[in-house]
Amino acid sequence: MIQIDVESGLISGARQVASPNFDDRPAKCCAELIVVHGISLPPGEFGGEWIDRLFTNTVDPAAHPYFPEIVDLRVSSHLLICRDGELVQYVPLSKRAWHAGVSCYRGREKCNDFSIGIELEGADDIPYTDAQYEVLASTIRKLQAAYPSLAGAPIVGHCEVAAGRKTDPGRSFDWERLFSMLAHDGMTE
């Protein structure tokens, strides 16, 4: 079971992998949006250390032909949910993770400033696992309970805040299933 320490922004029950790719949110700015992503490294492959390495700037460009394209990226996310449901935390929830890039939601730019980024290990055209949906729904409920600014906050895909640039979590992500799971516990989108 996960527990959120609001003061530190850390989640007990999550594997902690500290990313250097974060900074402070702007003054008087808090998380008011949850952005769901999909990621696999190398593309279409699951498991292994590569997502951790991407978010900690330790990708070996010689390890895969795709890696020279991403070795210089400085990106992160607050959380990752692996295929087996393991929850990994890279950035404290109170800090600004670098997950959305150039982004806009309802006319408000720079979504990293006011969002929590949750990566799902997956691909646009491969169904996500039951364990991922369960951990995602549980995590969102815990976030909404711990942070008043997230209670009832929009939950969107990376594709919605970076339209035309990003497609994740992709057509394989079942939004209806997620919202049904959240509504079942009295939470809505």
Residues identified as active-site: 119
CA atoms of 131 and 116, how far apart (whole Å): 20
CA atoms of 100 and 178, how far apart (whole Å): 21
DSSP E strands, the chain: 3-5, 10-12, 15-16, 22-24, 33-39, 79-81, 87-89, 95-97, 104-105, 108-109, 115-121, 155-157
CA atoms of 77 and 84, how far apart (whole Å): 18
Contact assessment for residue 173 and residue 157, using Cβ atoms and an 8 Å cutoff: yes
Q: For residue 91, give both structure tokens.
A: 């950035």
Q: For residue 115, give both structure tokens.
A: 């969002």
**Angle (CA) 159 117 125, round 5°:** 40
Q: For residue 28, give both structure tokens.
A: 């008087």
